Amino acid sequence: MVELGPGTGGTTKALLEAMPSQSRLLTIELDPRFSELLEALGDPRLIPHTGSATDIADILQEHSLPAPDAVISGIPFSTMPQEIGQSIIRAVRDCLAPGGIFLAYQFRGHVGRLGAPEMGTPDVQMEWLNIPPMRFYRWVKQ
């Protein structure tokens, strides 16, 4: 599994709690300070990496990891240039294992519009109890 934009690790901790013991979680974070916080978690299944999500294929290769079954993203697609967002989505699509899932959780709808040309129409779920409501965009690689 790969997590893009783990930040301080709140979602990362939940993923690690839910993952089987033989799984691996690669996190890709631009901010080296956040990567250091993730290192401090001390979980042997966790591979924190400082870098850009656009380089996901190279990062997977650098860590000798296979195509991921899932990529989870909390990076804010609504605040980045459209070209970078599209580049990230293409990179995710290209590296996912067949049948792999790309899940992006967002407050705004930009990722759905960016991802549709690359990966098709996403399944969208809303979490209304979150304030503001959170959208979950899910694609499955054919």
Q: For the chain, 142 residues long, give each residue's pLDDT as a single digit of tens.
A: 999 999 999 999 999 999 999 999 999 999 999 999 999 999 999 999 999 999 999 999 999 999 999 999 999 999 999 999 999 999 999 999 999 999 999 999 889 999 999 999 999 999 998 889 999 999 999 8
Give the pLDDT confidence of 14-54 residue by residue, as tens digits.
Answer: 999 999 999 999 999 999 999 999 999 999 999 999 999 99
Residues whose CB falls within 8 Å of the CB of residue 117, separated by 6 or more in sequence, listed in order: none
Q: How far apart are CA 4 and CA 12, in angstroms?
A: 10
One-letter amino acid of 127: E
pTM, to two decimals: 0.93
Domain CATH number, residue 55: 3.40.50.150
What's the domain range around 88?
2-140
SS3 assignment, position 63: coil
Q: How far apart are CA 73 and CA 130, in angstroms?
A: 17
Structural domain tally of the chain?
Answer: 1
